[in-house]
Amino acid sequence: MVLWQTVKGKLNRYESIFAAFALVYSLFILLIATFSRFEQISSRLISPLFIPLLMACTTWVPGVIKSIGTKKRIWAAIPAVVVMLGFLYNILLIDLKRYDDEFDYGVPGYTDDDWNRSHFVVFLQTHKDIYKPGVPIYSDADEAVYFFSGMRATLLPHRYFKNDVAKFYSEKHFYLVWFKALAHPELIGLEDIEKVKNLKKLYELEDGAVYEYKE
């Protein structure tokens, strides 16, 4: 409907803004996720599209209803109202489910129970002195290291960027903080590193480990 109105030149100014934003943002996310590979496309990245697309796809409905004769207008409005109520009901169910999950397990992210009750996280918080000053620290979750311990770590390189991988392997001394439960297939993994480097395991817990490499 939006494309048809665009071709006919009947798209109003607000619909044009919403549609243009959705198109430009979609292309931007697709391009940056494809070439930079900084993150897989997820609901977090595409959530800004929700309201613009919703507005762009539905602002024509009141105009169509108004164009219908007065006697038939109410019958034309009923299906639109039913669809709207069904949509709102579905959103309500999603929100209630999320509220129930967050009430039981905490807000998703580094503040939920899986992280707060992690023995490895507690270890990182209480053993900040195990690293020698000036030696770089790498991790498969650098944000988690900083969030829980306040220490700066560098994210392991993406396997697609050969120069970054080669630079990492050229390090003569580094620490590796490895979270076992995470899955980042775009990053070089522990097995990949162990094929090239003879890592020394310093500490290991059920959900993570700290390694050291030194030539």
Domain ranges of the chain: 1-67, 70-105, 113-214
Please choose, from the candidates 15, 17, 43, 14, the residue with its C-alpha nearest in 3D space to the C-alpha of residue 29.
Answer: 43
- Quick: pLDDT tens for 180-192: 988 788 899 999 9
Q: With the C-alpha atoms ordered 132, 133, 138, 139, is the resulting torsion angle positive or negative?
A: positive
Average pLDDT of the residues in 58-76? 80
Residue range 69-118, pLDDT digits in tens: 777 888 888 888 899 999 999 989 988 988 887 777 666 677 777 787 88
The answer to whether the CB of 5 falls within 8 A of the CB of 60 is yes
pLDDT number for residue 9: 52
- Other C-beta atoms lying within 10 Å of the C-beta of residue 73: 13
**61 token code pair:** 């409905």
> What confidence tens digit (pLDDT) does each residue in 112-152 have?
777 878 899 999 999 999 999 999 999 999 999 999 999 99
